[in-house]
Structure 1
Amino acid sequence: MQALIEVILPVFLVIGYGYLARRQGWVSDELVDNVMKFAQNFAVPLLLFSGISKMDLAQNFHPPILISFYAGALSGGLFCFLGARYLFGRDLTDAVAIGFIGLFSNSLLLGIPITERAYGEAALAGNFAIISIHSPLLYGIGIAAMEIARTRGLGLSGFGLMRQIARSVLRNPLILGISAGWIVNLTQITLPVPVWDAVSLMSRAAIPAALFGLGGVLLRYKPEGDMRIIAWAVFASLVLHPAIAYGLAHFGFGLDIGSLRSATLTAAMAPGVNAYLFANMYGVAKRVAASSVLLGTGLSILSIWCWLAILP
């Protein structure tokens, strides 16, 4: 109960505040969108830049933690895709978009604040290692699968497909922040103190702004119909993904407690808003994606509590 009150509840209260503010009309949809744009295009990329540029690669960029997390992510995505395609009989492009729900957890907007509140800022190194390849890898997989599903092998060459994937991925501000962090880390560039101070100021605004904006955005996602497939996708995100990550990290690789916590908690987060943005970008399975994000975020209050109780 203490973990629920002290760790999880403050994060979801900020989300709830954003939800209430939009529901009551205290803020407009335009303001919510602008808050999210500020967070996702400016503040959060700088948070990622700061975390990755200062990350100890030898200690934290550890293949077993990445294998544990991403094996769970890929399993969740495949579970959703196969269920949508063969159990629920959805169109191939719909199935790809639904698969993306199980693939893409909210590792950033929920994973970072939950981990920090539970275990302190020093515990975030493993999270940043996971996040450093999260968007490039999973968006690359999702876009490639969708383009193949849309063309069915026609009209798009291998080179054209690779160019489409690269264009879509490299335009993402989060990936630009991640890339800049990698450059500074690997080249050991020394930035002036005022620059780091400015980055720190912006970084501190990232999570509160993103959580408030997320609450406002979630008001738009009303769960309607398709409840069986929505439940299937939410199960993949909240149960299957973290269970596989925990099993591999703990029993397979015997990771230290810090890495085990980062891999499991990051995997235990609800489907990210990017799951809806991906579906919206292609105009398929939007209702399933939106409802999965909303219901998964609400139910994750309890599922995260359970995972915090399981973790040492």
Structure 2
Amino acid sequence: MSALLDVILPVFLVIGFGYAAVKANLLSEPAIDGLMRFAQNFAVPCLLFRSIAHLDLSAAYDLGLMTSFYAGAFAGFFVSFFGAMLIFGRPMPDAVAIGFAGLFSNSLLLGLAITERAYGTEALQGNYAIISLHAPVLYGFGIALMEWARTRGRGLSGPALLRQIARAILSQSLVIGILLGFAVNLAGNPLPDFFWSGIDMIARAAIPVALFGLGGVLVRYRIEGDIGPVLLVSFASLVLHPAITWGLGTRVFQLDTAALRSAVVTAAMAPGVNAYMFAHMYGVGKRVNASAVLVATAASILTAWAWLRLLP
């Protein structure tokens, strides 16, 4: 019970404050949009830049850690994708968007916050290693599959598709922050202390501001029909993904305690707002993904507690 009260509820309380502020008209939706733009385009990229720049690359990128997490992520995609098509009769582009919701966990806002509160900042090395590949790999996969699904029979060339994928990935501020962090890390961190002091000031605001903004954004979502696909995505995100990650991490790769915690907690998070943004970008599966973000985020209060109790 202490994990629920001391670790998980404070994170969701910040989200709840953001939700209540918009619901009570204390903040307008444009104000929340500005807050989220600050978090997503400046503060969180600074956090990722700082973390990757100081990451011990040789220790963080463990094959067992990555395989455990991403095997579960892609299992979540395929269960959601084929379930949407074969069980609920959705067309392929819709199914790709719904599958993306089962693939893309909220590794950054929820995963980092809960891992840090549960185990401390020194336990975040595995989280940052996962996050550094999360957006580039999963967005690349989702965009490639969506473009293929939408352009079947229209003859989009391979180079054109690759350019489209590269533009979509490299235009993300999060990816830019990660790539710059790698560049500084590999260059031996030549930047002066006063620069890092400024980056630290912005980075410290990233998670609380983003969580508050996430609460404000969730006001816009409604649970509207399509309950079957929504529950399928929620199951894939909150149960299937962390279960596969835990099984591989404990039975196959024997991950150490820190790596297992990072992998499972990150895997156990609800779909991020990116799942809705991806669906909105292509105009398909928007209602399912918006509802799945809302339902799974609420349910993750209890499921995350359950996974924390299972972990050493």
Query: What secondary structure sits across from 1:26 in the alignment?
Result: coil
**1:172-193: CA deviation from partner (whole Å, max 9, x where unpaired):** 0000000001111112131111
Could you report, residue by residue, the CA deviation over 1:120-174 in whole angstroms, capped at 9, with x for unpaired residues? 0000000000000100000000000000000014231000000000000000000
- TM-score of the aligned structures, taking structure 2 as reference length: 0.99
2:45 equivalent in structure 1: 45
Q: Are 1:75 and 2:90 matched, yes or no?
A: no
Q: In structure 2, what residue type is equivalent to 1:19? A: Y
The aligned residue for residue 224 of structure 1 is 224
Counterpart residue type for residue 132 of structure 1 = S
Matches within 5 A, 1:145-184: 145-184=145-184
CA distance in 1, matches of 2:189, 2:308: 38
Q: Which moved more, 1:266-275 or 1:180-189?
A: 180-189
CA distance in structure 2 between the partners assigned to 1:292 and 1:175 by the alignment: 25
**CA drift at 1:61:** 1.2
Give the counterpart letter for 2:277 in structure 1.
L
Question: What amino acid is aligned across from residue 218 of structure 1 in structure 2?
Answer: L
1:241 partner amino acid: H
1:117 matches 2:130: no
Distance across 2 between alignment mates of 1:208 and 1:189: 27
User: How much does 1:62 deviate?
Assistant: 0.9
Aligned length: 312
Amino acid in structure 2 at the alignment position of 1:195: F
Distance in 2, matches of 1:282 and 1:58, equals: 38
Q: Deviations over 1:215-263 (max 9, x none)?
A: 0000111101000110001000000000001110111100000000000
Identity fraction in percent: 59
3-state SS of the aligned residue for 2:108? coil
Per the TM alignment, residue 109 of structure 1 is displaced from its structure 2 partner at its CA by: 0.4
1:57-68 aligned within 5 A: 57-68=57-68
How big is the shift at 1:195? 0.4
Q: Distance in 2 between matches of 1:167 and 1:60?
A: 28
Query: Are the equivalent residues in 1 in contact too, given 2:136–2:169 (CA < 8 A)?
Result: yes
Q: Matched residues in 2 for 1:31 and 1:249: separation?
A: 42
* Distance in 2 (alpha carbons) for counterparts of 1:238 and 1:106: 11
Distance 2:66 2:231 in 1: 27
**Is the 8 Å Cα contact of residues 272 and 293 (structure 2) preserved in structure 1?**
yes
Unmatched runs of 5 consecutive residues or more in structure 1 = none
Aligned equivalent of 2:254: 254
State yes or no: 1:97 paired with 2:123: no
Name the SS of the counterpart of 1:138 in structure 2.
helix
Comparing 183-192 and 105-114, the one that deviates more: 183-192
Q: In the aligned structure 1, how far is the partner of 2:213 from the partner of 2:42?
A: 14
Query: SS at 2:107's partner residue?
Result: coil
Q: Is the 8 A contact 2:53 2:189 kept in 1?
A: no
Compared CA separation, residues 178 and 153, structure 1 to 2 (3 A): farther
Structure 2 counterpart SS, 1:133 = helix
Query: Aligned letter for 1:23?
Result: K
In 2: Cα distance, 1:197 partner to 1:189 partner = 14
Q: Deviations over 1:21-56 (max 9, x none)?
A: 000000000000000000000000000011111111
Alpha-carbon distance, 1:108 to partner = 0.1
* C-alpha RMSD of the superposition: 0.6
**Could you list the runs of 4 or more consecutive aligned residues of structure 1 that deviate by over 3 angstroms after TM superposition?**
none
Amino acid corresponding to residue 231 of structure 1 in structure 2? L
Distance (whole Å) between structure 2 residues aligned to residue 42 and residue 63 of structure 1: 30
1:34 corresponds to which letter in structure 2? Answer: G
Secondary structure of 2:184 counterpart? helix
CA contact (8 A) 2:84 2:95 kept: yes
The corresponding residue for 1:141 is 141
Letter in 1 for 2:60: N
Checking the alignment, whether the CA contact within 8 Å between 2:65 and 2:255 is kept in structure 1 is yes
Cα contact 2:144–2:161 (8 A) shared by 1: yes
The Cα offsets for residues 90-110 of structure 1, whole Å up to 9 and x where unpaired, read as: 011000000000110000000
SS at match of 1:222: coil
Q: Kindly provide the amino acid, as one letter, of the partner of residue 54 in structure 2.
A: K
What's the counterpart of residue 107 of structure 1? 107
